[in-house]
Structures are given as C-alpha cells and as structure tokens.
C-alpha cells in the first residue's frame, strides 16, 4: 500500500535523494543539506501550528510504500507565498503605439516584474520515483492535495497557483534565461535557480530589469518559449487544466514557464470531494478507485483504494488494514474523491 503522510526528520536521506533525482529546474528542492533539513523542520512546525489565517506555512508530504518503508515521492502546498520572501513573476502585457500622422498602430507584448501572487497558496514539490510512475500513482499523489485543501481551507490563500517548469535542455540551460544572463545577471541559469531555491533572492531585486521589457527585442528562441512548459511537465499541466486552472499571463522570471491559477473553491476536485463517516468491517465489492484521506492535520494520511461509495448515504466501510493505515476508527470522518 502507498500512503501519503507529512514529512518528518527521519525522511532527510529520502528527501535528499529526491532532490538529486529531480534535476535542474526543480527549484523547491535544491541539493543542499541545510535547506532540506530546514524545509523538513518548517513542515513539521506547520502541521502542528494553530493558524488563524495563512502566512508562511509549508506543508510538505511524502509518499511511502508501506511494504518496503521506502519514500518514493513528494508533494507539497505553500499556504501563502511571498509573505516573508519576495515572490517574483513576469506579467505579460501589451503596450499600444499609434500615430495618426503616419497611420501606424502597433501592439507590443511586454514583460513586467511584479509580486501579484503574494498571499496565494501554491502547489509545489511534486515528484514521483520513476519506478512508481504507473497506474493511478501520479494522479493520486497530485490530486490528494486537493482533499487537504478542501479539508483545511482556512489555512490557505483563496487563490491557488502552480508554477510550471519552463523549457530547458539536458544541461539545465534555458533559452529564455540566456538573454537575462548576458545583459543583467551574469550568472548561469543553474546557479540562479539554485540561489532562488535557497531563498537567496536579493540579487533579483538588485539586478533584474526594473522597466517593462519589450518581448519583440528578445532573441527569437527566447520569445518562442515564453509560456511554454518543459516536455516532462506537460502531463502535470493537463491535469491542472482539467481541475480548472488557467494561465493568466504570468511567467517564471528565469525560464519563462507559465504559472496557472484557480480559486480554491473552484477547483474541480475540491468541489467533488465528499466527507463520509467510517465503519470498519468487511469491504463490499467496489468497481471505482478513490483517493481517501483522513481529516487530521499532524497525523494526516491519504491513499487510494477501491471502496463502495453511495450517493444515497454518507457512510463508507473500510477494512481494518485500510483504517489502520489511515489512522481512523469507527465513527471517524474521511474525505474521498473518485480517481
């Protein structure tokens, strides 16, 4: 059985392995011991913290194979980005140039540095070991976060965003970043991405162009990848689009990848998830697979299983094994979402 649970200090070695395997462009997990241990400690504190309104909490979870006790994936949610560290994007806009005298009108795309998503919740740190990328595993790992959002809505910003990895090559070089490196920053993409992941973002405010950038003046290869996703990220983008996430003309400042957004209460899986009461016993035959999550916080657990769910009542039967894995007892509530 695969179970999703909050990360803990003993998961450090597994998290370090994920950071190495995820490669360039996975900014939320730089290969850095101090930062990774700090992320784990922050997550542990967030899961146990009393929250009146979202601030800078981070909920990092792991996917564990209970047969081997091996961590095989991660997923996370930031409660409200930009509350302590600046959270930068480029906003794609349009400037209009018009002259009656010469009868010419031009519309020119621009990129403007902004902090417009400050306070939004963010889906992040989604990674699944390649040996487990089969069946419903990836979908379960990603969509389980929507059950957590639905259950603990008050802990998150009302808008939920996801930054999609932009186009880069096997070496980690980004065609969008090249012009920025040549004319402004002077450091390569991998180093800039790494520093950003460490939270060392002062160089952005100091060195990034402050005035709107005219897209037409960028190299053609840089223009071409604005708003485009890395080939490995396309399935994740399709999944989010099916949930109601849309591109609103915000892109990453380093690789030009799109950021998509949706109001928390408009997310399809948030709306479709149901809270049911548990009965422990022999599970009846079921044809449909569900994501199942308990309603706890520090002891949060989620998994996928075939269970019998009826539209006519709000009860569901779980086997003793499944109930134990989910840390629920008779009469407890769970939240379910059909896969």
Which 3 state secondary structure label does DSSP give 192? helix
pLDDT 10s digits, 3-57: 999 999 999 999 999 888 876 556 677 788 888 999 999 999 999 999 989 999 9
pLDDT of residue 201: 63
pLDDT of residue 85: 81
Mean pLDDT for the chain? Answer: 90
Is it the case that residue 276 has pLDDT exceeding 70? yes
Active site includes 230?
yes
The structure tokens 């949930």 sit at: 243
Q: For residue 339, give both structure tokens.
A: 């896969």
Which candidate in 230, 285, 288, 313 is catalytic? 230
In the chain, domain spans? 84-118+158-272, 274-338
pLDDT of residue 62: 97
Residue in 331, 291, 299, 300 with CA at minimum distance from that of residue 314? 331
pLDDT of residue 69: 93
Q: Give the side-chain half-sphere CA count within 13 A for 39.
A: 31
pLDDT of residue 169: 78
pLDDT of residue 173: 77
Over pLDDT 70: what percentage of the chain?
94
Is it the case that residue 121 has pLDDT exceeding 90? yes
Is it the case that residue 253 has pLDDT exceeding 90? no
Q: Give the side-chain half-sphere CA count within 13 A for 235.
A: 10
Beta-carbon contacts of 32 under 8 Å, excluding residues fewer than 6 positions away, are: 19, 194, 197, 198
pLDDT of residue 238: 93
pLDDT of residue 200: 62
pTM: 0.90
Is it the case that residue 194 has pLDDT exceeding 70? no
Beta-carbon contacts of 162 under 8 Å, excluding residues fewer than 6 positions away, are: 122, 123, 124, 236, 240, 245, 259, 260, 261
190 in Cβ contact with 172 (< 8 Å): yes
Tell me the C-alpha distance between 64 and 12, whole Å: 13
CATH topology for 274-338 is: Barwin-like endoglucanases (2.40.40)
| Range with the poorest average pLDDT among 17-31, 109-123, 291-305 | 17-31
pLDDT of residue 24: 57
Q: For residue 141, give both structure tokens.
A: 């790992």
Backbone region of residue 227 per phi and psi (left: phi > 0; alpha: psi in -120 to 50; beta: other values): left
Beta bridge partners of 122: 78, 161
Is it the case that residue 90 has pLDDT exceeding 60? yes
Q: Give the side-chain half-sphere CA count within 13 A for 283.
A: 17
Q: Give the side-chain half-sphere CA count within 13 A for 196.
A: 24
pLDDT of residue 314: 92
pLDDT of residue 286: 86
How many helices (H) and strands (E) the chain has is answered by: 10, 15
Residue 154 C-alpha from the chain's centroid: 18
Would you list the DSSP string of 79-139? SSTTSSS---EEEEEEEEEEETTTTEEEEEEEEEEE-TTTT-EEEEEEEE-GGG-STTHHH
Question: Residue 141 to residues 13, 23, 72, 256, 318: CA-CA distances in angstroms?
Answer: 20, 19, 11, 26, 20
pLDDT of residue 176: 87
Q: Exposed e or buried b for every residue in 253-277, given b needs 16+ CB within 10 A?
A: bbbbbbbbbbebeebebbeebbebe
Beta bridge partners of 70: 65
Name the DSSP letter for residue 269.
H
């Amino acid at each position: 059985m695969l179970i999703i649970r909050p990360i803990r200090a003993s998961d450090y070695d597994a998290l370090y392995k994920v950071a190495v395997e995820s490669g360039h462009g996975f900014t939320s997990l730089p290969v850095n011991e101090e930062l990774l241990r700090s992320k784990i400690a922050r997550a542990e504190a967030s899961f146990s913290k009393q929250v009146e309104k979202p601030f800078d909490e981070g909920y990092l979870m792991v996917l564990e194979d209970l047969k081997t006790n091996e961590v095989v994936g991660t997923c996370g949610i930031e409660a409200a980005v930009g509350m302590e560290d600046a959270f930068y994007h480029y906003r794609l806009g349009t400037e209009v140039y018009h002259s009656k005298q010469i009868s010419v009108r031009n519309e020119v795309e621009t990129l403007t540095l902004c902090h417009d998503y400050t306070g939004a919740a963010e889906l992040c740190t989604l990674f699944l070991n390649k040996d487990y990328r089969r069946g419903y595993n990836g979908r379960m790992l990603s969509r389980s976060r929507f059950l957590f959002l639905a259950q603990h809505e008050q802990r998150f910003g009302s808008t939920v965003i996801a930054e999609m990895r932009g186009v880069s090559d096997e070496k980690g070089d980004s065609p969008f970043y090249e012009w920025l490196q040549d004319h402004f920053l002077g450091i390569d993409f991998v180093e800039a991405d790494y520093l950003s992941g460490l939270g060392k973002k002062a160089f952005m405010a100091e060195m990034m162009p402050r005035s709107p950038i005219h897209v037409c003046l960028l190299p053609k290869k840089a223009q071409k990848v604005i708003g485009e996703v890395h080939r490995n990220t396309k399935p994740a983008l399709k999944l989010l689009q099916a949930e109601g996430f849309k591109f609103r003309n915000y892109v990453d400042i380093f690789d030009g990848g799109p950021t998509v957004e949706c109001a928390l209460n408009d997310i399809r899986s948030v709306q479709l998830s149901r809270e049911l009461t548990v009965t422990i016993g022999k599970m009846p035959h079921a044809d449909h697979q569900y994501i199942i999550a308990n309603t706890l916080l520090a002891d949060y657990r989620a998994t996928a299983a075939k269970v019998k769910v009826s539209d006519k009542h709000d009860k569901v039967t779980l086997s003793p094994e499944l109930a134990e894995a989910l840390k629920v007892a008779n009469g407890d509530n769970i939240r379910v979402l059909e896969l």
